[in-house]
Each structure stands twice: as structure tokens, then as C-alpha cells.
Amino acid sequence: MTGTARSEQTDSEAAKPALGIGMVGYAFMGAAHSQGWRTVGHVFDLPVRPRLAAICGRDAGAVRAAADRHGWAAAETDWRALVARDDVQLVDVCTPGDSHAEIAVAALEAGKHVLCEKPLANTVEEAEAMAEAAERAAARGQIAMVGFNYRRVPAIAYARRLIAAGRLGALRHVRVSYLQDWLVDPAFPLTWRLQKQHAGSGALGDLGAHAVDLAQYLAGEQLAGVSALSETFVRERPVLSGASSGLSGAGTTERGQVTVDDAVVFTGRLTGGALAVFEATRMASGRKNALRLEINGELGSLAFDLERLNELSFHDQTEPADLAGFRRILVTEPGHPYLEAWWPPGHALGYEHTFAHQARDLLTSIAEGTPPHPTFADGLQVQRVLAAVEESAAKNAAYTPVAG
């Protein structure tokens, strides 16, 4: 690129209207979202230019360090101050679930657009308040979206395209499992993710929310009913003092109660009649981030594994038997979702790219005034499924078989 062409491109970007982003939270999800906001404008031709205006966290030193590391212009220690900033037009909520409703509703009422991490809230009641606030805000031209980033994996988006086009025909079975192992060690400390008042639930909300959303998104249908079992295998864990560091609880004597599930399994039925099976656990030894799904229909099947996220397996049942079988589709072609702006075919993408895709879709919705996907109403529907799973698991836990 010549100097003149580069200058013209820079001038073109500068001429686009800027949208100030304010993010609450700076840990794992905060870092991932920062990467997405920082990257999206360098890859996609956007209608608006995101500006990383401010990041917020309670620890002044830590949030300032995060701002410097991730490219945020300012740091705040009070989310209310961030929401009130004139240079923030979109509030990105990356906090534990117990604060989602308060921050998101306040931001919407202040006239801001909102992106909120999943699950939408800790309770159905909180999610209902958020969806109602989003509906009121939509009448004023504001956008509110839930951060189910796995929808933005190109292979997942392509699977949705194939199903919507009828390539599988009527759906028969949906299976989704999400397996991790970071809680196998009983010495792992009692973090906020293991406390119901902060996290709402355990593997159910952390992993199961993704599974439910993906099943419904891909099928284009909702779950009509569920039957569930859940278990907490390690009921007490070490409590780390404020002076402790790291993620090992070894050497501490105080222990606290784990108040969420370690694992959950449930079955369901989609509104179109397909049967669905789900498994979510953080106790599957050897599985780091194993999200797998398979959808079977009358005309074919699709299968996906997040640990091979550039690939989609497709079986066409209409082919002759001597040709039939699952084929590997490498989802890296320019015609595949999101791939028109990235690398030449065969050059794989990764987890971090889903957040750039999420940012692109949200910024486009804001610029065009079109509804985002998934909406807060979609997040509320997932929350209702999670609540139904919890209710079913509680009833099944109380059942005592008759001795025979």
C-alpha cells in the first residue's frame, strides 16, 4: 500500500462517526471483549468507529493496569461514573451475574446501548426487568444484546445457514455437551463462580446457558420442556484470604460452602418435536473446553467440536449409500460467515475472533437501527429454561426410590 493510499484509508476511518465504549469488568471476559473491540475496526469495514473510552473495576490499581494493557483511554472505579460519562455511548457489562441487571437497566435508562455477557441475569425476575428495560429503550432507538459469542464461530453460523435452508429437513435429535475440568481438584478455592449469590448457578449457567442458546439458535426453535438432574460433588472448598494469591487453596484451613451445581444433565423437547439432550460439567477430568453438538434431521446431520472450531461435519442422507458419510467442511472460505474480511482459505481462526465478530454485528445493528441477535428477550428465554432445569433437578433430587 502506498503512502497516499494509506493516508486516504486513515482519513476514511477518521471520518466515520465514533461510538464510545465503556466496559464494566476487566478479568477474563473483560480481556476477551477488549480484544474484540480493539480488533474489529482493523478487520471489518464498519459503519461506525468504536473508541475504547473507559474501563471500570473496583480496584483502582488493577483497573488502571488493565486499561493500559488493553488500550482503554480512561479507568473508573464506580460503574455509575462510567455510565454517566458523555464519551460513553455503549456500556459493555462483563461482571458476575449478580450485577448484570442493575448495571444494564441503569445504562439503558441513561440512554446508552448495552452489551451484556451471558447468562443475562441470575434470576428470571432480573432477566424480565432487563428485557422490559430493553424494550422501552428500543423505542428510543437504543440497542441491547446478549453476549452469546459462540453464535459468532463461523462454523456455527454456517451450520445455522444450512439448517435454515432445509438441508437437514425436519429435525429429530439435538445433543449438546459442554465439558470442562477446572474444578476436579478439591483444593481449588471458593471463587465467586461457586457462590449462588454471585453466579446464580454453576455449570448450568456458566456452560449450560451456551448449550441452550446454541440448540435453540441452530434449530430455530425453543425448548418446550425439560427434565433434569444436577450434582455438587465437592461441597466445601478452601476460602482464600485477601492476602492470598493464585488459584490454589493449598495451605488454607478455612473452608466455605459451594452453593451451586458442579454438573447438570437434562433432556428436553423442542417446539418442533425434536428430542434434545444436554450435559454441562466442570468436573470432566481431561476436558478443558469441550463444547460439542450434533443435530440429526430427516435429510442429514451436522456435528461440531469447539476444540476444532474451524471444522463442521456434515452428512447428506439423500446421497447414495455407497457415497454417504460425514464429510469435513473446512469453514475458512470467503463465502462462509465472517470470513470475507480475514485470511486466505485454510488459514484458521480462533476463540478470540468470536468477540470481534460479536462487536461487528452489534455496531452494524446500532448504525442501521436494526434489532440485534440475540436480544435481551432471547436472553430471558434462555434464563427461563435454566430456571426450569433448576426446578426439575430440585424435584428429582428429592425423589427417594422405594426399596424392592
pLDDT tens-digit profile of 10-42?
556 678 899 999 999 999 999 999 999 999 999
Percent of the chain at pLDDT exceeding 90: 90
pTM recorded for the entire structure: 0.92
Q: Identify the CA nearest to 109 among candidates 79, 88, 136, 82.
A: 136
Q: How far apart are CA 151 and CA 374, in angstroms?
A: 9
pLDDT higher than threshold 50 for residue 209 = yes
DSSP string over 338-385: TGGGSPSTT----TTHHHHHHHHHHHHHHHHT---SSBHHHHHHHHHH
Q: Is residue 335 pLDDT above 60, yes or no?
A: yes
Residue 248 pLDDT grade (very low, low, confident, very high; cuts 50, 70, 90): low
Burial 335-373 (b: 16+ CB within 10 A, else e): ebbbbeebeeeeeebeeebbbbbbbbbbbebbeeeeebe
Higher-pLDDT residue of 324 and 115 is 115
Q: What is the mean pLDDT of residues 366-374?
A: 97
| Cα separations in angstroms, 395 against 228, 230, 308, 390 | 9, 11, 37, 9
The pLDDT assigned to 32 comes to: 98
Find the mean pLDDT for residues 181-200.
96
Q: Does domain 154-308+310-349 have CATH number 3.30.360.10?
A: yes
pLDDT in tens, 61-87: 999 999 999 999 999 999 999 999 999
If DSSP codes are grouped into helix, strand and coil, which group holds residue 400? coil
Q: Answer whether residue 1 shows pLDDT above 50.
A: no
Q: In the 3-class helix/strand/coil scheme, how is 67-100 assigned residue by residue?
A: HHHHCCCEEECCHHHHHHCCCCCEEEECCCHHHH
By percentage, how much of the chain surpasses pLDDT 70?
Answer: 92
- Which grid cell sits at 383? 434464563
Among 264, 194, 262, which Cα is nearest to 233's?
262
Per DSSP, 206 falls in state I
Q: pLDDT by residue (tens digit) across 131-158?
A: 999 999 999 999 999 999 999 999 999 9
Spatial neighbors of 34 by CB under 8 A, at least 6 apart, are 23, 26, 52, 55, 66, 70, 71, 72
Contact 16, 49 (CB under 8 A): yes
Position 361 scores a pLDDT of 98
**Does CATH place domain 3-149 in 3.40.50.720?**
yes
Q: What is the pLDDT of residue 171?
A: 98
* Rounded CA separation 11/65 (Å): 31
For the chain, the structural domain boundaries read 3-149, 154-308+310-349
Q: How many CA atoms lie within 13 A of 214 on its CB side?
A: 31
- Who's near 327: CB < 8 A, 6+ residues apart? 313, 314, 315, 316
Same fold, 3-149 and 154-308+310-349: no
Q: Is the pLDDT of residue 189 over 50?
A: yes
pLDDT of residue 402: 61
Instruction: Give 245's pLDDT tier (boundaries 50, 70, 90).
Output: very low
Distance (Å, rounded) from C-alpha 212 to C-alpha 160? Answer: 15
| pLDDT at residue 7 is higher than 60 | no
More confident site: 5 or 370:
370
Predicted pLDDT at 5: 43
280-296 pLDDT tens trace: 999 999 999 999 999 99
pLDDT in tens, 110-129: 999 999 999 999 999 999 99
State the pLDDT confidence band at 253, using cuts at 50, 70 and 90.
Answer: confident
Element (H, E) at 18: strand 18-24
**Residue 232 pLDDT greater than 80, yes or no:** yes
Residues in the chain: 404
Q: What confidence score (pLDDT) does residue 15 get?
A: 80
The values of phi and psi at residue 309, to 5°, are -75, -5
Phi-psi region of 211 (alpha: psi -120 to 50; beta: other; left: phi over 0): alpha
- Strands of 134-218, DSSP E: 144-147, 171-179
Is residue 8 over pLDDT 60? Answer: no
Give the closest residue to 291 by CA, choosing from 207, 217, 378, 174: 207
In this predicted structure, the answer to whether residue 247 has a pLDDT above a threshold of 90 is no
pLDDT of 46 reads 97
Which pLDDT belongs to residue 125?
98
Helix axes 353-368, 28-43, angle to 10 degrees: 60
